[in-house]
Structure 1
Amino acid sequence: MSNKKSYENIDPVTLGVIAGSFNSIAKEMALVLYRMAYSSIIRESEDLGAGLFDSDGNELCESDSTPMHIGSLPGYIKGVKHFLGNDINEGDIILHNNPYHGASHTPDLAIIIPIFYGGKLVGFAANTGHVLDVGGMSPGLMVDVVDVFAEGKHYNAVKLYDKGKKDEAMWRHVLENVRTPNENKGDIEAMIASAKLGQRRYLELIDRYGLDTVQATEKRWMDYSEEMLRKEIEKIPDGIYKAPTGWLDDDGRNYGEPLKIETSVEVRGSDIIVDLTGSSPQVETGYNVPYSGSTLPATYTIVRSILLDEANSEVFVPQNSGIFKPIEVVAPLGTIFNPKFPASCFARFNQINRLADQINLALAEVLPEKTTAGNSAHVSANSYAGVSPDTGAYWIYIEINEGSYGGRFGKDAMDSVDNLVANTRNNPIEELEMRTPMRCHRYELREEEPAAGQWRGGIGIAREWEFFTDTLFSGEGDRHFDAPKGVLGGADGQTGSLILNSNSQKEKNLHAKLTNFKINAGDTLLIKTPSAGGYGNPLERDPEQVLEDFKDGLIAKRTVKDVYGVILKSDLTIDEVATADYRNNSLK
């Protein structure tokens, strides 16, 4: 029997054209979704993912959006197969969101359309999007929730269309049990349009090139990604690399009781094993992480980002299931990264961003030029909700506030930007003020100095809201106590904070995690997100960069000398001789 692989006879041009078409299709699917969506979290923040998958659920391509959405979709498809078995038919449109069967978490709905060709299942077009509400105990977001059933409605591979026929009763059930039926309806219909486009484009490829050629390209494209990642892993010396112990603030109910994150990364030939043994046991709130839908995609994303950064790669390496194969994740059952049913796992994003940062810090020792200092590694996801006195309908707004990257070899960090495994955009303030009874008084970089280093840390944001009506606030935040770590002599960053009625007699510091906290009309809320860590010894920073930071108002004059060892003349130019002497003495 021949061992020749199916794709070896495909000419390189055809291979490249079909592979390029996969990526274009995923991007086009995402464009349709966020342009048609009703809710701002999808339409403006682009909290979504879209792509094509083979008949086994392997990812073929993904959109340039939130990696947690698209990376979890193979798990969604596995969950759909668990519930439906062989009852997957041409014309089906399937809705799924069970976090114990592949979903990234309950509000991330997926629409999955099976693709048939010649009566045979050949793949799936699928997407996910974070909807405003799924009918749980709290509007929008929640942390302090008793179990997974209290999170909201679970759609276990339900068919909105069965063999092409719309199930009107199921649609009513889906939309009549949430607080935002109009927005959810618009979002789901946008997701269906996006998946139908992917289905159509995939079938067009098959019609043009033939099923055998397209499927052979899929295998080659996944094998290629796996080969390229394995080559990078093999460059790392075998060994076990351990990150400093990380601490999450608390579980959103038992305040003051931090949760441990232990992370080691073992390199064994062309394999990487990320071991989370020793991390906190699962908690009694929703502050747990779905293993398949969130722990795995977060790990895959950060490993690929470190080793195959597109900005530094000489060749394009596609993101698909081939990337997943060299990576193993050990997360003992019953811990926060792999909870036992029926524990809630609604509020999972801060943990997986910290997981990504822990892997980054573990590899900093052996890959100093590919990793960063400690990142903000949090998601200050907040929801605001109330009932309109005019219509009696709920209004809900969900925002994801930006963080900051840690300093990196050769470059200062990026300020005020989503980072690591998050990839959402900010919402325009003007639109939010038109649609919600809130007004933004501040939205700017934090005033505190960035973390010092040869390359400085990134700066988080300060955002202050005023509320015109009584509002229910739920905050899914963290990092009010454990600052982002500096590396190689760089300084640690700044922790975040939530302050109610800042600079008034009613000022009150709030916990990072709150569920259904009542904010009264006239109150203000000041959100500060963490600033990241610095990279390298500050005394080795280019004096000209130090002077620029001072002129830009990022650092005080005393910091110029006391931290960076730069001596300024009376005309605010650099005294190069005095600076060299001062730094040499300080480094001794």
Structure 2
Amino acid sequence: MIDPVTTEIIRCALLQAAEDMNTTLIRSSYTPVIYEAKDCAVALLDRDHHVLGQSSGLPIFLGNLEVCTRETERLHGAGVWRDGDVWVLNDSYIGGTHLNDVTVYAPIFVAGELAGFAASRAHWLDVGSKDPGGSMDSTSIFQEGLRLGPVKIYDAGEPCRDPHEIIARNVRFPHATLGDLRAQISCALTGRRRLEEIITRWGRDTVTAARDQIFTQTERLEREAIAAIPDGVYRATGHLDNDGIDLGTPLPVTVAVTVSGDTMHVDLTDCADQATGPVNCGAAQAVAAVRVGYKLLVSADVPLNGGSFRPLTVETRPGSMLAAESPAACQYYYSHLGLLIDLVVKALAPVLPDKAAAASYGDSMIVQFTGTDPRTGRLYVCQEATVGGWGAWDGGDGESALINNVNGDLRDMPIEVLETLFPVRVTRYGILPGTGGAGQWRGGDGAVREYEFAADTSLSLWFERSVTPAWGLAGGEAGAPPRVTLNPGRPDRREMLKVNALPVKAGDVLRCESGGGGGYGSADRRSPEALDGDPPVGPPGSFTM
């Protein structure tokens, strides 16, 4: 037995330990994709691979980092863990993500006994793909860079020279890459230190009792929330624009949610087969996306831990886009995951109208350019996500110019940082009024970001959700789709949403317009006061200024 006060103190200590790990990683990293954009997440796990605490970070890694420690133990046996060891893994079919997302994890021993694990996942700027930073037109995992299964990078506290050497020789930025690796190792060491302190202060038995109580409380709250939903099967379908290779073929994603008593089952088997282009993911990431949608509706106020998701099961189909197998390309694994999150919400909206929101703009909308910086003579890669409009809900308009719900804590690059590090000038950045869907409650507006290149560069783009733009709910209208224009207003003007390694010249201008969120409720029910402050609404594409 343990008293509730001690349980709550230990709960907060575990959560704070994860936040300390995240701070260590961000402040120690070498590349702006981590220290500015915060493309990372961390977790503290118990010895059974259950989450003790997970920091703020990318929601798409929700309850996902433990997959790596579990798979390592499955492959090598429970006796593989040794004090002072650190492991690294980025295999897309294990962790579920693209190869740039690298997971670093370490066992934690207290008084000679395994107590848990510290893990982090962070985006490495380059992992040796056929194009610097990553390819928008890859058709095989073998074009996407160095692929590592569970590999020991530190052995009993000492660095393993061979894997360090392999990594350094297979990436374009070895100094920065090994710096980010060391930042993740420091993150793991911080987690080890914090868990040691917690166990030393309260004792192993007390911490274990608190953990069990926390897990039980969380499971009970989630089951109660599910039990309040009417039993039934709820479905929703959407489409990705294409796979980046066959630009004329949309790819379907269908969600079937079965609620039975205090349990929920999500069936993802009715989706496209794994695609030729890089829109596939390992099953672990499809599960994580469902968990995000579930968390939004069922237990948004309950911190993530090992008791989360016990009432939830997710079924995938091997060989499908959501459970890809080798050699499927996985570079843009997250496009259908953002769609999947919105579809979970849409499926349950009829029975959870007070919690469901209309769809968001939905995708990371990646802008990447790479080349040789004339100021330094060195290769550079700039990659950033784009903000857009979120969906409205019953009681409020959607937020404008936010990062999509896949990425959570991720930031777009500050203009000052962008212009300092790369040969580019941001000539315009702001909200695009009127791009959110009309409704009693309007969808949030998208954003425009305009780049003027100061040197010849190679441009890659991945913009999504034009076939299935952000839909409305309860009679609300859809938001505007995205649009990207190279050299607007000039004779060589060109519109595109996806392109890989397109040569552009110094002086060329790129205008990126993200989509708006869906509206909620019929527009004729919008209050006169709200209408007075609304921007004018036109047909899709009419919002360009």
TM-score w.r.t. the length of structure 1 is 0.88
Shift of 1:350: 1.2
CA offset digits 1:446-469 (Å, max 9, x no partner): 244431110001111111111122
Q: What one-letter code is carried by the residue in structure 1 that aligns with 2:188?
A: A
Q: How does 1:296-307 map to 2 (within 5 A)?
A: 296-307=287-298
In the other structure, the counterpart of 2:299 is 308
- Please say if residues 368 and 409 of structure 1, whose CA atoms lie closer than 8 Å, have aligned partners that are also in contact: yes
Q: Which residue of 1 aligns with 2:116?
A: 123
Change (3 A) 1:150 1:78: farther
How far apart are the structure 2 equivalents of 1:141 and 1:404? Answer: 26
Cα offset for 1:536? 0.3
Q: Which residue of 1 aligns with 2:542?
A: none
> Residues 55-454 of structure 1: matches in 2 within 5 Å?
55-85=47-77, 86-243=79-236, 245-292=237-284, 294-310=285-301, 317-389=302-374, 393-423=378-408, 424-454=410-440
Report if the CA contact (8 A) 1:50-1:70 is conserved.
Answer: no
Q: Which moves more between the two structures, 513-522 or 31-40?
A: 513-522
* Displacement after TM superposition at 1:228 (Å): 0.9
TM-score, length basis structure 2: 0.95
Write the letter of the residue equivalent to 2:341. Answer: A
Contact 1:73 1:103 in 2 (8 A): no
Q: Distance in 2 between matches of 1:103 and 1:450?
A: 32
Question: Alignment partner of 2:63: what SS?
Answer: helix
Preserved contact between residue 75 and residue 103 of structure 1 (Cα < 8 Å): no
Distance 1:171 1:84 in 2: 21
| 1:558-580 deviation digits (Å, cap 9, x = unpaired) | 99xxxxxxxxxxxxxxxxxxxxx
Does 1:458 find its partner at 2:444?
A: yes
Amino acid at match of 2:291: Y
**One-letter code aligned to 2:122:** G
**Conserved 8 A contact 1:464-1:525:** yes
Contact 1:222 1:322 survives alignment (8 Å): yes
AA aligned to 1:113 is A
2:19 matched to 1:27? yes
Q: Distance in 2 between matches of 1:13 and 1:321?
A: 20
Distance change >3 Å, CA 82–CA 525, structure 1 → 2: farther
CA contact (8 A) 1:237 1:267 kept: yes
The 3 A distance-change label for structure 1 pair 289 and 309 is same
Query: Any conservation in 2 of the 1:159–1:167 contact (CA below 8 Å)?
Result: yes
Which residue is 2:473 aligned to? Answer: 487
Please give the alpha-carbon distance, in whole angstroms, between the structure 2 residues aligned to 1:152 and 1:449: 37
SS in 2 for 1:175: helix
**Partner-residue secondary structure (3-state), 1:60:** strand
State the identity as a percent: 34
Q: Which has the larger radius of gyration?
A: 1
User: Residues of 1 paired with 2:281 and 2:155: CA distance?
Assistant: 32
Residue 389 of structure 1 and its aligned partner are, at CA, apart by 4.9
Could you tell me whether the CA contact under 8 Å between 2:357 and 2:392 is conserved in 1?
yes
Once the 2 structures are TM-superposed, how far is the Cα of residue 125 of structure 1 from its aligned partner? 0.8
User: Are the aligned partners of 1:300 and 1:323 in contact in 2 as well (CA < 8 Å)?
Assistant: no
Give the SS at the match of 2:392: coil
CA distance in 2, matches of 1:448, 1:364: 25
How far has the Cα of 1:27 moved from its partner?
A: 0.9
Q: Which residue identity is paired with 1:217?
A: A
Which residue of the other structure, out of 458, 464, 483, is the alignment partner of 1:478? Answer: 464
* 2:219 aligned partner, one-letter code: E
Post-superposition offset of 1:238: 0.1
Cα separation, 2, equivalents of 1:383 and 1:421: 19
Contact 1:413 1:457 (8 Å CA) reproduced: yes
Residue 543 of structure 2 aligns with which residue? none
2:510 to 504, 514, 525: 525
**Cα displacement (A) at 1:443:** 1.0
Separation in 1 of the partners of 2:84 and 2:435? 57
- Runs of at least 4 residues of structure 1 off by over 3 A? 388-393
CA contact (8 A) 1:115 1:125 kept: yes
